[in-house]
Amino acid sequence: MKSFLVGTFAALGIVASASAQDNWRTEAVAALPQVGEMHLQLINNEEADGFMRLGWARDDENGIIQFYDRTMLASQEIYETMGGSIRADTLAPIDVAIRFHQQSAILSVEASAQDGVMIGGRTLTQPFAGQQSAEINTPITDGMVMRAAVFLLSQTMPLDAGDSIGFDWFSSLTGSPGTVTITAFDGGRIDTIGGSFDTLRLELRGASPENDIYVTDNDGLRQVVRIDVIGQPMRFEAFPVEGAAAE
């Protein structure tokens, strides 16, 4: 259920530079605007078929970043709403709540950090079939990142072509841990519904499915202009942004 979307809502073990490996969290958060939203069109089998909105707000006083996700795949009657928060210094998960609809089925997920462990549960409700529940009990390992943070911070990660970083993450939909890497490559020039861009390609590997995230090739805030879902005829492309410098 939704295996193909797990990667939309964030390589080959190349050794990263010390700067990229050790300081990327601090640099990425510092460059993130106080409030913002990524708005992308979901393209499935070369046809517009939905959208994704991934938004955030930094709360510097309390040292957290709040986020939300709204994703729809119309042809398969899929709609997801998610909200949660992460620690701004480490990107570690604090809490998350998801409501995922597919046709008549509803999957609800809630988890929060308690003494270094994400505690909660997943409940699947289907008409005339009752409920099925499973507990979430996932240790927050050193350096673990909330999955959603990878996608919103892909705009500000201080990576250049050839850099690579690796870390554990908490996959909020499944309630489970994983280990992923992000490696940066020259993405070349790509055409999207938002314009034509010279890009950096961030290869996210270790997830299921995996993703290629294309960002504009400039320093500081980089616009996410396309996210490919590897192995699926599906991608996300950013809508035109007023004032954006498409070439």
**pLDDT score of 130:** 86
> What are the residues whose beta carbons fall under 8 Å from the beta carbon of 230, sequence distance 6 or more?
7, 209, 210, 211, 212
d(CA 94, CA 63): 11
Q: Which two tokens stand for residue 239?
A: 């809508």
d(CA 8, CA 56): 16
Residue 97: exposure state from Cβ atoms within 10 A (0-12, 13-18, ≥19): middle
pLDDT, averaged in runs of 10, over the chain (247 residues)? 38 36 86 96 97 97 97 97 97 97 97 98 95 96 95 95 96 95 97 94 94 87 95 94 54
- Which of 222, 63, 217, 76 has the alpha carbon at shortest distance from 152? 222
Q: Which helix (H) or strand (E) holds 139?
A: strand 130-139
**pLDDT score of 217:** 78
**pLDDT score of 208:** 86
**pLDDT score of 218:** 73
User: How far is Cα of residue 99 from the mean position of the Cα atoms in its chain?
Assistant: 16
**pLDDT score of 4:** 38
Q: What is the pTM of this model?
A: 0.87
Question: How many other CB atoms sit within 10 Å of the CB of residue 60?
Answer: 10
**pLDDT score of 240:** 83
Q: Which helix (H) or strand (E) holds 110?
A: strand 105-114
Q: How far apart are the first and last CA of the chain?
A: 39
User: How far is Cα of residue 118 from the mean position of the Cα atoms in its chain?
Assistant: 18
Indicate the DSSP class of residue 30.
Answer: H
**pLDDT score of 13:** 30
- Which of 230, 213, 245 has the alpha carbon at shortest distance from 40? 213
Indicate the DSSP class of residue 217.
Answer: S
> What are the residues whose beta carbons fall under 8 Å from the beta carbon of 159, sequence distance 6 or more?
20, 24, 165, 182, 184, 200, 202
> What are the residues whose beta carbons fall under 8 Å from the beta carbon of 111, sequence distance 6 or more?
93, 95, 96, 118, 119, 120, 121, 136, 138, 172, 175
**pLDDT score of 221:** 85
**pLDDT score of 194:** 92
**pLDDT score of 119:** 98
**pLDDT score of 42:** 98
Say if residue 240 is preceded by a cis peptide, omega within 30 of 0.
Answer: no
**Parallel/antiparallel/unpaired status of strands 145-146 and 164-171:** parallel
d(CA 82, CA 9): 10
